[in-house]
Chains A and B, each alone.
Chain A
Amino acid sequence: MTTIVSESRRLRLPVSVPAVVAGLFIVLLVVSAVLAPTIAPYAYDAQNIEVMNEAPSFAHFFGTDEFGRDVLSRIIVGAQTSLSVSVTAVGFSVLTGLVLGSVCGYFGGLVDRILMTVIDLTWSFPEILIALMLVAVVGAGLHGVIIAVAIAYLAQFTRLTRTQVIQLKKEAYIDAAVNLGASDFHILFRHLLPNALAPVLVAAMLATGDAIILEATLGFFGLGAQPPTPSWGAMMSSGTAQLFVAPWVIIIPGCAVALTVIALNIVGDALIDSLDFRNKAREG
């Protein structure tokens, strides 16, 4: 079979300072999440009533919570929870969305109509409502939150992939592949998907930020990680009770959520700027 080169996107390096800072922040966060148990200064669940609600100090950089637990250690382990839940959920959404979107976009017809009607139904409800309904069915806990977040973002990736595939399948190199007798499977996974992937990955980065907020929201309602496992949302939830006594218990995880989401958005924006979507170079 003739090899068809279908390189279509040109990448320019993201050089803006905020993008570099945001990128470094995310790298730092991922590293600390991965090494969480090793680098956390205290055990995240070690209670010490003698030092409860203590303000930030050298012994506890981010202070202590209502049980005297070290907030810094809980933030680090909480990063592991937040990132793993949001990345797993969005990863699941992306993979499923890619498969469903490609099938719908490539084959069209009845398959497309039935699948897209079902997928579009999820767009009729706000993400948080879908998530709350699913957690009510699956049960509170991280697995429930992962499924809920994954389904909440599924429609977005399916639609995006489908639109990409519909556009790309009109290209001459696809016609060429069809005329050369390539199978549907080969065309879909060798030619269409690789080209549809870049915008989906950028959307995935932005969705990861949203997923962190959704995970924190579910955690805030007590539907995510169950005690003593920390998650940023659950930490904020328990912090509300002592907002006036120990404000750091709510402010610090709040800042962690905000900074992570902002960083993910800045990097996502930089990627959009870097990927030249207009240049659809075709070679063959």
Chain B
Amino acid sequence: MNRRELLISSSILAIASTSLFSNVAIAAASPSEATIVLSSDENGAPHLDPIRATLLSVTAGLIYDRLIAMSNDHTFHPHLAESWDESEDGLNWTFVLKKNVRFHDGELFNADTVVWWISKFEGSANQHVSSAIDRVVVVDEHNVRFEMKRPDPNLLYNLASYFMGIPSPKAYEAAAGNFGVIEAVGTGPYKLESFAVGQETVLVANEEYAWGSELSENKGVPEIKRLVLREIQDSSATFLEMDTGGADILMGVPTEFVPRLALNADVELRNMPATGVSYLQFNTSSAPFSDRLVRQAIAHAVDQEPILKAVFSGSGATAHQFLVSSLEESKVQPEFLIRKDTEKAKQLLDQAGWLLGSDGIRTKNGQPLKVRLWSASETAYKRMAEIVQAQLKPVGVIAEVALFDSASLRDALRKGDHQLVISHYDWDNADILDWCFSAKNIPHPNSSRWDNPRSEKLREDAMSGARNWRERVAKYKEYHENLLENFVFVPLHEFEKTVAVNRSRLAIPERIRETTVGSATLLDTRWQ
């Protein structure tokens, strides 16, 4: 074959493959099972053991039930605990457990289970959830009392999280450290059939189930008998699966594909309440961002509106403080909110000694104000980085963007060579402030490397000084305001997750009461 023939044949091949790509209909999902594509940020959980896990997906919520269920308005509802009572000093919690609850292996769930389960957190990755509990006392077979070392107003939130899904003690001990790898036994509405790390988890309905939480209408056996939960890395592939009928539910529609899926008559899109925020992170331990004035200038140079519009097509909201806006701790005094003010940004940089040169770049002691702006290479983060880069240029700051895959970015942040980073978190509790900015968490997850005596004092107080929920809110609000006035970060966007459902096959409940399409929603989901 000569070069001309090669050119012609490769062109034909390229055209043919393009048309194949666009025309091949991906095999439709099987009628007997529902296929769910997980949200990309839930991909990659190495096992399904809630006690050891640092990453769990909605799968864990289907296999394991929790004592408490939390609705998306941040209220708590009975699940395996029928009711609970907190003593006035916050040092005793009594839980009344549901009767006749059995694990998938036939073992009975009772007060002894709770005693065993809480003890397993000691020394685990999730030790913090039980750190305030001194001991668990069996009152009778269906009554337990948590005696606390100190009040923990966040106890109910923790009890409602995936990490406090309750596994079967018998199966857990028998697996000897490998629980969640080949077997995962809980009391949930679905039983594990198979689990392939990073690929898919197959679940079958628990035919004994009769103890659904208050958040679902159906307390019994789910109508959808088999669930295939797939993990797909590539955002285009997730979109194609949903668009061509290969998936019944797509848990997190990539932002760029929301308008396209909206055109598909078979697809119903549901916006879930915001559970996370994207923000610009500073490395506060080194110049120039060790200077508060420079951080404040950058914070005022950034405009959140174009990010909302260009990156998220208007979905979600602009963020001007660090927390999800449905949390009470997010309602800080208005003067602490971080907003665009280009003129002020310029004045602050002048004040900090960074003077504008004739080339439009600021300098100080002969050093130009050129900073590294890092981001994950996924489309949304990359776009935010490019917008921030363009917004910093007019105030005389040159940001050099570098893109990393998520794992490399995490490693690079630990090394500490970063200056500005596009970051995000997905968590609907104020203790995310402790996670991100506690001096104990340097270099990770506090890669801002924020270490300030006043902030530490306020953080300690918020974490363990509150006797009740109201006090906790007040203390966290004060800590939050302290971080805002120090410009430790620049909030960018409060993101919403969009869930896509194949409405020709599945009917999900009109009102979703969870923060995501979880066990309560799937219990109420019916075939069309």
Which residues of A come within 8 Å of B, CB atoms?
45, 47, 49, 52, 66-68, 140, 206, 222, 226-228, 238, 240-245, 262, 265, 268-269
B187-231, CB < 8 A from A: none
Residues of A within 8 A of B7 (CB): 262, 265
* Interchain CB contact under 8 A, A269 and B390: no
Contact of A67 among B379, B390, B402 (CB under 8 A): B390
* Interchain CB contact under 8 A, B403 and A45: no
Mostly, the A contact residues are: loop
CA distance A226 to B389 in the complex (A): 12
* Interchain CB contact under 8 A, A269 and B4: yes
Residues of A within 8 A of B236 (CB): 240, 243
CA distance A243 to B236 in the complex (A): 10
* Interchain CB contact under 8 A, B310 and A226: no
CA distance A282 to B403 in the complex (A): 57
* Interchain CB contact under 8 A, B310 and A52: yes
CA distance A234 to B515 in the complex (A): 36
* Interchain CB contact under 8 A, A241 and B386: no
Q: How many pairs of residues, A versus B, come closer than 8 Å at their CB atoms?
A: 59
Write out, one digit per residue, whether chain B residues 256-282 have a CB within 8 A of any chain A CB (1) or not (0): 110110000000000000000000000
Residues of B within 8 A of A52 (CB): 309-310
CA distance A243 to B259 in the complex (A): 12
B401 on the A face (CB < 8 A): yes
B382 on the A face (CB < 8 A): yes
Extra A-B contacts (5), CB below 8 Å, given A222-B403, A268-B3: A47-B386, A66-B310, A67-B383, A67-B386, A242-B256
Residues of A within 8 A of B386 (CB): 47, 67, 227-228
- Give chain A nearest CB distance to B116 CB in angstroms: 48
Residues of A within 8 A of B257 (CB): 244
* Interchain CB contact under 8 A, A47 and B387: yes
Contact of A66 among B4, B383, B389, B401 (CB under 8 A): B383
- Give chain A nearest CB distance to B413 CB in angstroms: 17
CA distance A140 to B7 in the complex (A): 30
- Give chain B nearest CB distance to A234 CB in angstroms: 10
Contact of A226 among B259, B260, B403 (CB under 8 A): B403
Residues of B within 8 A of A66 (CB): 310, 383
Residues of A within 8 A of B140 (CB): none
Measured as residues with beta carbon below 8 angstroms from the partner, the interface class of chain B is: 20 to 34
Which of A206, A226, A227, A240 has most B Cβ within 10 Å?
A: A227
Q: List 16 A-B contacts (CB under 8 A).
A: A45-B390, A47-B306, A49-B306, A66-B310, A66-B383, A67-B383, A140-B403, A222-B377, A222-B403, A226-B403, A227-B389, A241-B235, A241-B379, A243-B236, A245-B259, A245-B260
* Interchain CB contact under 8 A, B309 and A49: yes
- Give chain B nearest CB distance to A139 CB in angstroms: 8
Residues of B within 8 A of A68 (CB): 310
Residues of B within 8 A of A262 (CB): 7
- Give chain A nearest CB distance to B426 CB in angstroms: 21
- Give chain A nearest CB distance to B289 CB in angstroms: 20
- Give chain B nearest CB distance to A210 CB in angstroms: 11
- Give chain B nearest CB distance to A2 CB in angstroms: 41
- Give chain B nearest CB distance to A209 CB in angstroms: 10
Contact of B389 among A228, A242, A243, A265 (CB under 8 A): A228
CA distance A45 to B402 in the complex (A): 16
* Interchain CB contact under 8 A, B377 and A227: no
Residues of A within 8 A of B3 (CB): 206, 265, 268-269
* Interchain CB contact under 8 A, B385 and A67: no
Known: A226-B401, A226-B402, A265-B7. A49 touches B310 (CB 8 A): yes
CA distance A222 to B235 in the complex (A): 16
Residues of B within 8 A of A240 (CB): 236
- Give chain A nearest CB distance to B326 CB in angstroms: 27
CA distance A47 to B387 in the complex (A): 8
* Interchain CB contact under 8 A, B385 and A227: yes
